[in-house]
């Protein structure tokens, strides 16, 4: 057990000074004592806030981030990007995946993400057959998590078809394919071995394009028998073409179909949900589900802009992720989310609304709360019983000089691209010190060897 001491901490009750936080051997907060003394505690200067949950990641895509930006006489879109992604993924090995994920996790931690929900669909060998150990790829993600200290919600994904109605999968999708039986087996294997303190096992349904309705129902039923509170994530309504294909297939928009046919509730996270109408907005908000927004990826892929203001007015839950990892920090995701809405509405401080409230604080409060729900872990708040995931902002960073409390949060998000994060604790372990991850050098060396080979395949 250790005691940590911070000069300024954001607690659920507000900002507090001279806070001692007790952490047990498992990494859980045992006590929070404002107006305390540092005697016998590990003291870290700066402004302490909860670590931010990242609710959507495809770790392998970190190695191709920024490498699909070439114009074409035929034009470019999400779908042409996907073709390049399929080519890139063709030869990735388990060793590659571990090296890429570890480098990604170092970068996420360095910027203030302390946990990540890995939407895991790269399952099979290059020829489409399962590895001898069917969860080999998932284990590599878990090893990267262990090496870096990041918290994980790993979500093995069901993937069976190439389009609505169970259309036969394409050859390029063979590395992703499985069935309900193998999916549930993967979840059971990983769940039996996972450390409850650092890892949560969930269920991913890749999309309504990739999962026929009967398989969707069977997977949910089986997973919930194993764990009634299992986190369930699904891509939905990311692209207009997806919406139009759904309408052609069944006469219903994809989000509406999902709400009509699946038990969507507070355990669910609907990824993107970019193209939803007023009725879908109201129903998603009422369901208690969380929408997982990935603004930098959604911008990079030309997805569109989520109807944030309308959803916020319905008091819907939302959180942020980094998806393809063209952005890798909470500040960049939240900034682009807010700026996209300012451009759309021709107003400012959209997340704060009509409240006399800091926009940075409003964005972070929602990301902490929604992120904890979607991750299925006790994170996002510095209270007794929660994970001791803590981010320290450097008050001497140029962006934060002279600022404190909510003003510092605004500056973190809206003042430049250099991160003022100086130190990070996950489960009470000091994984980022003075702006550098404690294992950064070794992890970078492994990643560099892999990335230089992979660059030839992009």
| Closest by Cα among 113, 100, 46, 69 to 333 | 113
Indicate which residue of 7, 323, 394, 410 is catalytic. Answer: 323
Whether 389 is catalytic is no
Question: 49 forms bridges with which residues in the sheet?
Answer: 391
Beta carbons of 283 and 309 less than 8 angstroms apart: no
How many Cβ atoms from other residues are within 10 Å of residue 148's Cβ? 26
Whether 323 is catalytic is yes
Rg of the chain in Å (alpha carbons): 21
Q: Give me the sign of the Cα torsion angle 200, 100, 302, 342.
A: positive
CA pair distance 26, 302, nearest whole angstrom? 42
Q: What's the burial of 13, exposed, middle or buried (CB within 10 Å: 0-12/13-18/19+)?
A: exposed
Catalytic residues, by residue number, are: 272, 323
């Amino acid at each position: 057990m250790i005691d940590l001491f911070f000069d300024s901490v954001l607690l659920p009750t507000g900002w507090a000074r001279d806070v001692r936080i007790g952490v047990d051997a498992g990494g859980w907060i045992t006590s929070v004592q404002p107006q305390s003394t540092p005697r016998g505690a590990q003291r870290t200067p700066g402004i302490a806030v909860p670590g931010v949950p990242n609710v959507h990641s495809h770790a392998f895509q970190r190695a191709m981030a920024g490498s699909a930006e070439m114009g074409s006489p035929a034009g470019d879109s999400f779908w042409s990007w996907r073709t390049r992604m399929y080519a890139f993924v063709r030869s990735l090995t388990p060793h590659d995946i571990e090296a890429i994920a570890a480098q990604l996790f170092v970068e996420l931690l360095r910027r203030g993400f302390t946990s990540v929900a890995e939407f895991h669909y790269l399952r099979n060998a290059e020829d489409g057959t399962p590895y001898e150990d069917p969860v080999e790829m998932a284990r590599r993600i878990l090893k990267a998590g262990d090496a870096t200290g990041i918290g994980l919600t790993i979500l093995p994904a069901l993937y069976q078809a190439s389009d609505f109605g169970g259309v036969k999968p394409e050859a390029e999708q063979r590395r992703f394919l499985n069935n309900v039986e193998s999916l549930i087996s993967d979840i059971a294997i990983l769940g039996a071995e996972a450390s409850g303190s650092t890892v949560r096992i969930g269920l991913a349904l890749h999309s309504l394009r990739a999962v026929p309705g009967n398989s969707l129902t069977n997977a949910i039923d089986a997973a919930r028998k194993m764990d009634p509170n299992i986190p369930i994530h699904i891509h939905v309504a990311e692209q207009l073409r997806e919406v139009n294909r759904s309408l052609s297939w069944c006469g219903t928009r994809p989000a509406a179909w999902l709400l009509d046919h699946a038990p969507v509730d507070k355990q669910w996270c609907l990824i993107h949900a970019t193209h939803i109408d007023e009725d879908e907005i109201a129903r998603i908000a009422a369901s208690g589900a969380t929408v997982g927004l990935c603004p930098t990826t959604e911008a990079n892929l030309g997805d569109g802009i989520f109807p944030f203001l309308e959803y916020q007015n319905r008091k819907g839950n939302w959180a942020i992720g980094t998806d393809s990892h063209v952005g890798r920090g909470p500040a960049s995701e939240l900034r682009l989310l807010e700026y996209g809405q300012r451009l759309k509405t021709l107003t400012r401080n959209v997340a704060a609304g009509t409240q006399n409230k800091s926009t940075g604080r409003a964005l972070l409060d929602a990301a902490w709360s929604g992120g904890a729900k979607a991750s299925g872990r006790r994170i996002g708040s510095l209270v007794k019983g929660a994970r001791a995931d803590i981010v320290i902002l450097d008050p001497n960073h140029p962006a934060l000089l002279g600022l404190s409390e909510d003003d510092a949060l605004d500056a973190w998000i809206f003042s430049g691209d250099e991160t003022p994060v100086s130190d990070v604790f996950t489960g009470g372990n000091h994984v980022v010190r003075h702006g550098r991850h404690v294992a950064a050098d070794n992890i970078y060396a492994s990643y560099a060897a892999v990335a230089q080979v992979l660059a030839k395949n992009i």
